[in-house]
Amino acid sequence: QKEVEQNSGPLSVPEGAIASLNCTYSDRGSQSFFWYRQYSGKSPELIMFIYSNGDKEDGRFTAQLNKASQYVSLLIRDSQPSDSATYLCAVKDSGGSNYKLTFGKGTLLTVNP
């Protein structure tokens, strides 16, 4: 059974701080990794995806991938109260399917003004 683990939180940070969200995965052959944000009562929306080891930056968001350690993280710089949401890590299965993503349970982030 392929697993994606996230700390459920809540993770609480003050406004303007860096929020660090972590995710580990069991499927060693996985090549594609995603971070989705889900506001309370809303559907998930994609923030970033990353394929290669290292960092990928998009505005205030940086995704970091370390395939050897089977670890992916999301950093949010200059956190804002509007960033308060549940962040879902998703990993594309390495099997034959082109469609299967395994999701973590999500980390609830609260940014305090």
- Type of residue found at 39: Y
**How many CB atoms within 10 Å of residue 93?**
17
In the complex, minimum distance from the CB of residue 78 to another protein, in angstroms, rounded to a whole number: 25
CB of 45 closer than 8 Å to CB of 36: yes
Cα dihedral sign for 33, 49, 10, 102? negative
- Contact string (CB under 8 A) for another protein, positions 13-52, x = contact: ------------------xx-x-x-----xxxxx--x-x-
By the rule CB under 8 A, 92 interacts with another protein:
yes
Residues forming contacts to another protein in the complex (CB under 8 A) are 4, 31-32, 34, 36, 42-46, 49, 51, 88, 90, 92, 97-106
